[in-house]
Amino acid sequence: MIAKSITVSGRVQGVGFRYFVRQQARWRGILGEVCNLPDGSVFIRAVAADEIMQAFIADIKRGPAFSQVERMEVQDLQDETDYKDFQITY
């Protein structure tokens, strides 16, 4: 299992982006969380097997219909927080 933090910028707030991310994560069996940031970006922390994580990152780049991803910053995380599900946090 690997853990990643992903910060997504562009038109990603007010377009159902967090719900899309949660849906894709749950469909793929990924654990973690997603939240809006004050600067208008979205932050994701995810834990999954490497090949599943790569597919999830591709899903995020595509985004829901009304979103527009302009930039993604993906970083490895050392700790795999003990998530039990994938949640939208506030």
pLDDT at 68: 96
* pTM (predicted TM-score): 0.93
In a domain, 11, yes or no: yes
Residue 90 pLDDT grade (very low, low, confident, very high; cuts 50, 70, 90)? confident
Q: Which residues pair with 87 in a beta bridge?
A: 33
Tell me the residue range of the domain where 45 lies: 2-78
Tokens 């927080």 belong to 81
In a domain, 85, yes or no: no
Q: What is the mean pLDDT of residues 61-83?
A: 91
Furthest C-alpha separation in the chain: 33
**Which tens digits make up the pLDDT trace of 48-68?**
999 999 999 999 999 999 999
Q: Is the pLDDT of residue 80 over 70?
A: no
Counting the structural domains of the chain, the total is 1
Render 31-77 in DSSP notation, one character per residue: EEEEEE-TTS-EEEEEEE-HHHHHHHHHHHHH--TT-EEEEEEEEEE
**Which tens digits make up the pLDDT trace of 16-30?**
999 999 999 999 999
CATH number at residue 49: 3.30.70.100
User: What is the distance between the alpha carbons of residues 72 and 51, in angstroms, rounded to a whole number?
Assistant: 18
Which positions are annotated as active-site residues? 18, 36
| Helix 50-62 / helix 17-28 crossing angle, nearest 10 deg | 150
